[in-house]
Amino acid sequence: MLQLLVRLALLLAFAAPASAASSPDISVPILLYHRFGPTVADGMTITTPVFASQMQYLHDNGYKVIPLRQLVQWYQGKGAAPGPKSVVIVEDDAHKSVYSDMLPIIRKYRYPVTIFVYPSAISNAKYAMTWEQLRELKKTGLFDIQSHTYWHPNFKREKRKLAPAAYDKLVMEQLVKSRKKLEQEVGGPVDLLAWPFGIYDDHLLQKAKEAGFVSTFSIERRHATAQEKLQILPRYLLVQADQAKAFAQLLQGNAVKRNVAY
């Protein structure tokens, strides 16, 4: 009986909200960026001029960049439906090039951005921003700081290595510790979570709910539609090749399939 009640609760949690069901034509691309720079350093670096051209394309072609929070609130039934050319911009990892390269372009267009941060790297890793820089971004009113776990673990690998109890302890520490640290350093609420490497399953989704996250995010090359479950929403991982015609196709929901080494 208890197992049946748990399954029913999960089904209700994963169900598309009434607001989404009443707007079946909604389709919003969530554009995920990682790093920027003058050259392509790896598979997830987009050169700064290409990023600038993408932002200009959004501006010149009538797209409206909305905060990720606004999209989440619509799924929750707390806000108006996004318009037909709505787009969301997010970034994973809080790489230092967000501050040096992304920020000036975002300021130019006044686009809202959500940054998913794993706190262990901040003010520690050479590739990451500092807490001071993150706070500066938040003060612009354009950047929302959310969780990417505490130190970006590969949960598939950890699950194979650890006993079930130890694994669950690790998961909850990654989720709760990240929320607390981010809220302490830059303020909250921190209740949105991007899964490291896009790895998730029903068990992890349940743990995220227990840790206080209202929505989590994967990596899938498709739009977020009215049929999505609030607990897990898709995002496009942008790469250097997603420019010009390919970028336009992606926005229209006809993205080129790509195998990206994360």
pLDDT digits (tens, 9 = 90+) for 183-215: 999 998 999 999 999 999 999 999 999 999 999
The pLDDT assigned to 107 comes to: 98
- Kindly tell me if the per-residue pLDDT of 228 is higher than 70: yes
Higher pLDDT, 245 or 20: 245
Q: What average pLDDT does the segment 108-121 reach?
A: 98
Give domain status of residue 256, yes or no: no
The pLDDT assigned to 13 comes to: 46
Higher pLDDT, 258 or 47: 47
Which of 181, 123, 120 is closest to 151 using CA atoms?
120
The pLDDT assigned to 51 comes to: 98
Residue-wise pLDDT for 90-100, tens only, equals 999 999 999 99
The pLDDT assigned to 116 comes to: 98
Give domain status of residue 223, yes or no: yes
Give domain status of residue 258, yes or no: no
Give domain status of residue 8, yes or no: no
Give domain status of residue 261, yes or no: no
- Kindly tell me if the per-residue pLDDT of 78 is higher than 60: yes
Q: Is pTM beyond 0.85 here?
A: yes
Q: Can you tell me the distance from the alpha carbon of 82 to that of 84, in angstroms, rounded to the nearest whole number?
A: 7
Residue labelled with tokens 């336009």:
248
Give domain status of residue 185, yes or no: yes
- Kindly tell me if the per-residue pLDDT of 111 is higher than 70: yes
Based on the structure, what is the number of domains in the chain?
Answer: 1
Give domain status of residue 190, yes or no: yes
Give domain status of residue 45, yes or no: yes
Give φ, ψ of 21 to 5 degrees: -60, -30
The pLDDT assigned to 113 comes to: 98
Q: Identify residue 182 by its one-letter amino acid code.
A: L
State the chain's mean pLDDT as an integer.
92
> Helices (DSSP H) in the chain: which residue ranges?
2-14, 18-21, 48-60, 68-75, 96-97, 103-109, 131-139, 155-161, 164-186, 202-210, 245-251
- Using CA atoms in the order 220, 163, 212, 228, what is the torsion angle rounded to 10 degrees? 30
Tokens of residue 99, six digits? 């501050």
Range of the domain at 154: 16-251
The pLDDT assigned to 17 comes to: 54
CATH number, domain of 25, equals 3.20.20.370
The pLDDT assigned to 20 comes to: 56
Residue-wise pLDDT for 1-54, tens only, equals 444 444 444 444 444 554 555 566 889 999 999 999 999 999 999 999 999 999
